[in-house]
Amino acid sequence: MTFDAARPQKSPSADLQPDFVQIIDVTKKFGGATAVDHVSLSIRRKELFALLGSSGCGKSTLLRLMAGLEAPDSGRIVVDGQDITQLPPYQRPVNMMFQSYALFPHMTVEDNAAYGLRREGVGKAEIRERVAAALDLVQMARYARRKPHQLSGGQQQRVALARSLVKRPKLLLLDEPMSALDKKIRQQTQFELGNILYEVGVTCVLVTHDQEEAMTMADRLAVMNDGSILQIGTPGEVYESPTCRFAAEFIGSTNLFRGVLAADESRLFNCADLEVPLQVHNPMNARGRMEAQISLRPERITLSFEPAGQEFNWAVGKVDQYAYMGSYTLYYIRLASGRLMAVDMSRMAVRAMQRAPDYGDTVYLSWGSDTLVVLGS
């Protein structure tokens, strides 16, 4: 699986306020367990920022802290210069879209969308205008009189979005927005939603456990685990240059090697699983000889029936398993040491070979030195 950044870049003015939303050393404990552990973040204006992590990592708690549904034990949250840490949710310039959409079942679509504005005390005429515009934006104007139970999941999501956007919040929070949708329409919805948010120009924080979602929609993302942020960066940065094992393994899949890296000119990395050492392109901050982990993405490996003819960065093994996925095939090659390596070959690459590798075939794996990422363990 490859992730190409297909997102339009945000306008340069987005950099005008790099600290639009600040989370400053926020901690939240529930009983004995620490859900959010001294987290600090800066989010730029008009940015779509994703919090990525598995369930229980604290991302949802962090979102709820921003919304005001929980109070932090320590730390501050600042939005557009205003410290909102002590404010209750109904006084914050923050809106949230819930995982279950949480549309009010006893109100029509129109009334749902208008609810927030009515609480603000906005005039009736203005409410009507803004609600109509919001529903237009999400293409739900025709369903204005319907009730939520008469809508499909995707339609409900759009109404929930309209309801959040109509108040023109400074910060929009999205809690696993795609999790309730069918897989098939998820990708399409990701693009649509991303475009709407970009058009409106609202700053967003999105929480998800689905790395594809984060990679597709976010301008920048943060990988979270156990209440802490492990890495922040653009999707490309985090994918290509993970700084730790968790980040490397959580996003996409990877082959991880543990061994000893020599920081001298040889730039060689010796691993017990590999007969031939790896040669890294850039030893990073390695000093002397040190233990390190190296990440090698499956899609950067080339398979061949002939040896590659390079001194380092190759291996040989037998095809142990493979899974044909249509546009690509995932191979698991068993090396002599018993280690399995995952190789992702695109359809075109497989067709370029004499024949598609089959169970038990001996194949040669090779990759470039620039594909190896040295991780801080």
Partner 1 sequence: MTRTDKVLGNAFLGLVFLFLYVPTICVVVYSFNESPLGTVWSGFSLKWYAALTTDDELLSAAWASLKIALATAFASVFVGTWAGFVLARFRKFRGLTLFTAMINAPLVIPEVIQAISLLLLFVALQQAVGWPARGMFTIWIGHTMLCVSYVAITVQSRLSSMDESLHEVAQVLGATPLRVFFDITLPLISQALISGWLLSFTISLDDVLMTAFLSGPESTLLPIVVFSRVKLGLNPEINALGTLFIAAVTVGVVVNNHLMMKRQRRRDLEMAALRSTP
Where do contacts with partner 1 occur on this chain (CB under 8 A)?
67-69, 88-90, 92, 94-96, 98-100, 102, 104-106, 115-116, 119-120, 149-152, 154, 163, 167, 185
State the CB neighbour count (10 A cutoff) for residue 272: 11
Q: Which is nearer to partner 1, 27 or 99 (CB)?
A: 99
**Least gap, CB of 178 to partner 1 (angstroms):** 15
Q: Is 243 helix (H, G, I), strand (E, B) or coil?
A: coil
Q: How far apart are CA 118 and CA 84, in angstroms?
A: 22
**Least gap, CB of 185 to partner 1 (angstroms):** 7
Supply 154's token pair.
């995707």
DSSP letters for 244-273? SHHHHHHSS--EEEEEEEE-STT-EEEETT
**Least gap, CB of 99 to partner 1 (angstroms):** 8
Q: Which is nearer to partner 1, 106 or 287 (CB)?
A: 106
Q: How far apart are CA 152 and CA 348, in angstroms?
A: 39
Report the relative pairing of strands 33-43 and 302-304 from DSSP bridges. unpaired
Measure CA 360 to chain center: 36
State the CB neighbour count (10 A cutoff) for residue 326: 6
Strands across the sheet containing 220-225: 94-97, 171-175, 203-208, 48-52, 220-225, 228-233
**Least gap, CB of 108 to partner 1 (angstroms):** 13
**Least gap, CB of 118 to partner 1 (angstroms):** 9
CA angle at residue 46 from 56 to 161, to 5 degrees? 65
**Least gap, CB of 91 to partner 1 (angstroms):** 8
For the chain, the C-alpha Rg in angstroms (whole number) is 24
**Least gap, CB of 89 to partner 1 (angstroms):** 4
Q: Strand pairing partners for 351?
A: none
